[in-house]
Structure 1
Amino acid sequence: MEKVAYGQHLLKALHAGEAQTMVTRPVLQKSEIAVTEVRRDIPENDYTSAVPQESAFLITLNMRDWPKRILWIDDKPVQALPLGAGSSNIFDLRKKYIGYGVSSFHMMSFYVPRGVLAHIAEIDEARDIDEFAHDPCSGIDDPVIRDLGLALYPAFRRPEEANMLFVDHVTTAIAAHVLRTYNPRADRPAATAGELAKWQEARVKDVIAAHLDGNVTIAQLALECGIPLSIFSDAFTSSVGMPPHKWLLERRLEKAMEMMRQTKMSIAQIAMKCGFAGERHLVRVFSRVVGNSPHAWRSARLS
């Protein structure tokens, strides 16, 4: 199996103790972005293995302070500065990275292949990227990466229940953001979001409603509207009053309610039909949003 810089391959390279990964295919199902939570709570005082080299970038968000780093890039020692919690880094994986584990760390790592960035640039009619204007030896304080990463972080507690349209929204937004912000070849300001036209809103809602399993991407929805990928989610939110993943969740709950009223299917069967990971997932979400369990809600309406 080809080594890629996420999941267990990243865990092994960094000699980390824990890793959780979520993978999405954000650009017309052609390639994938992966986000991995990696942590090591006890310093090892040992060299890491080389992070797998490939045509991709790692965008990292540090979840805690990283007071001391020792790093080699392409077998040359470099001065790696301390990193604060909430700071970010961008690593070009064409280069070879080896570290020395003198500090514990905890980070979210977004694996973004160059092909994904090329497709985003094509959709947004922007310039493709060769390298980012960022030195990985020092961190960057980027509130967009930080806020998006922190919004996604709770999903790692139950990754099997994660709303994949939300995961896709966050990972695509981070990729599009770094492409616009750190691309030294960028030659025009980013487009700004307005509202969707009525036909665009109706079309997107139809597509989302037809994919209650969440097997649709932000890129596909933007393509249906013919608007830039980088502004689609903001335009949808401005038009509908909520982001696409929340509108999807509301449709799932509406469908579940309809099936509880009109069929004799079990709650477990309804959960699977409506795109939930299972009965427990439906019960947890339904109870939080509606204020009652599906069983109690159904009984009250059938009595």
Structure 2
Amino acid sequence: MAASTSYGKAFGKRLGARSSGYASRALSKAMLAVTELRYDDPQHVLSTPPVEEDAFVVALHLKFFPRYRYWENDRPARESSLLPGQIIIYDIKRKPIFHLNDSFHSVHYYFPRAALDAVAEEAGVPSVTDLHYNPGVCMDDPVVRDLTFTLLPLFADPQNVPRLFMDSVLVGVAHHVACRYGGMRVRPVTAASGLTRWQQVRAKELISANLDGNLPLAALAAECGMSMRQFLKAFKLSVGATPHQWLLRRRIELAQMLLRDPDLPIPAVASSCGFSDQSHLTRVFTAKVGMTPAVWRRECRK
């Protein structure tokens, strides 16, 4: 099978757009991906069709697209407008194309059939047969919109985004899409009592041992003998934060401890705490503590 042209750099190249994205193996049987596209120079031509595959793309549009002319299987949909903050669904099997008659800015989630099947299998329910949508028509979806807005600042440097966080978001969006548009019906997650003591200790040990955030969510859940859905709900119930939020808290606590040593360079502190560099530490530390690491260090010495 030819490589997909519906996510990542190949996606951007196909449309002549700038792209930035992240691909995840959170689901062992399938790839999940998210791609930000910026198209600034309209060529007024039809887009190149994607490589045909059994996959869907769910796109959130961030800029008004006034005359959206769209085709599936060479059949035109009714002309419409794409509104900021709304989503549109594409079935790649149907050879979707559209007229590149205006600039756009959008974020696209890539879900192959195998990913939706894996989500259903983990939930212990029948597979999703299809996603239901009207071709070329955008829809309100507050869940996809709000989760996407949390990702937007991260596309500037996707290589330094913790896998734990991105895995959680992509699996969450896939689960939501399967339920809302695929009719998947899931049983309530049985995690009312949260994590047991040994599960909580083990989870925190693993996160602390992987402060760069590159521990896969699936591996963390498996260590606790739970599905990803069960683990995320139980962890938040027990700890009061998501695994990613607890990771950031642990990073900051360790950074504060190390910053008390006046002879330890701040870049070394950043490296020891799982940050990619000093500027990464400074951004996160300032957001959480309210001052830069250098200022915090000086305040501690007064």
TM-fit CA distance, 1:20:
1.6
What is the TM-score normalised by the length of structure 1? 0.86
RMSD of Structure 2 on Structure 1 (CA): 2.6
Per mean C-alpha deviation after superposition, the further-off stretch among 35-44 and 246-255 is 35-44
Is 2:3 the counterpart of 1:2?
yes
Is 2:28 the counterpart of 1:23?
no
- Contact kept? 2:5, 2:14, Cα under 8 Å: no
The structure-2 alpha-carbon separation of the partners of 1:302 and 1:187, relative to structure 1 and needing over 3 Å to count, comes to: closer
1:191-222: CA deviations, max 9, x gaps? Answer: 47635133333332222112111112333333
Corresponding letter in the other structure for 1:175: A
Q: Who is 1:255 aligned against? A: 254
Q: Who is 2:124 aligned against? A: 125
Q: Who is 1:115 aligned against? A: 114
- Contact kept? 1:176, 1:230, Cα under 8 Å: no
The structure-2 alpha-carbon separation of the partners of 1:116 and 1:210, relative to structure 1 and needing over 3 Å to count, comes to: farther
- Contact kept? 1:180, 1:190, Cα under 8 Å: no
Q: Who is 2:172 aligned against? A: 173
DSSP 3-state at the match of 2:182: coil
What is the TM-score normalised by the length of structure 2? 0.87
Corresponding letter in the other structure for 1:248: L
Corresponding letter in the other structure for 1:24: S
Corresponding letter in the other structure for 2:281: L
Structural mapping, 1:1-303, within 5 Å: 2-16=3-17, 18-28=18-28, 31-184=30-183, 186-191=184-189, 194-199=192-197, 200-230=199-229, 232-261=231-260, 264-298=263-297, 301=300
- Contact kept? 2:88, 2:139, Cα under 8 Å: yes
Corresponding letter in the other structure for 1:58: V
Quote the Cα distance in structure 2 between the aligned partners of 1:166 and 1:270.
22
Corresponding letter in the other structure for 1:208: I
DSSP 3-state at the match of 2:42: coil
- Contact kept? 2:195, 2:234, Cα under 8 Å: no
The structure-2 alpha-carbon separation of the partners of 1:127 and 1:94, relative to structure 1 and needing over 3 Å to count, comes to: same
Quote the Cα distance in structure 2 between the aligned partners of 1:242 and 1:125.
26
The structure-2 alpha-carbon separation of the partners of 1:284 and 1:201, relative to structure 1 and needing over 3 Å to count, comes to: same
Corresponding letter in the other structure for 2:14: A
Corresponding letter in the other structure for 1:9: A
Quote the Cα distance in structure 1 between the aligned partners of 2:126 and 2:223.
22
Quote the Cα distance in structure 2 between the aligned partners of 1:151 and 1:190.
26
1:6-27: CA deviations, max 9, x gaps? Answer: 12211122232x2221223222
TM-fit CA distance, 1:173:
0.5
Q: How high is the sequence identity, in percent, across the aligned residues? A: 35
The structure-2 alpha-carbon separation of the partners of 1:233 and 1:263, relative to structure 1 and needing over 3 Å to count, comes to: farther
Aligned length: 300
TM-fit CA distance, 1:263:
9.2
TM-fit CA distance, 1:61:
0.8
Quote the Cα distance in structure 1 between the aligned partners of 2:97 and 2:62.
20
Quote the Cα distance in structure 1 between the aligned partners of 2:5 and 2:190.
34
Unaligned runs of 5+ in 2: none
Quote the Cα distance in structure 2 between the aligned partners of 1:183 and 1:290.
42
DSSP 3-state at the match of 2:94: coil
Unaligned runs of 5+ in 1: none
- Contact kept? 2:235, 2:243, Cα under 8 Å: yes
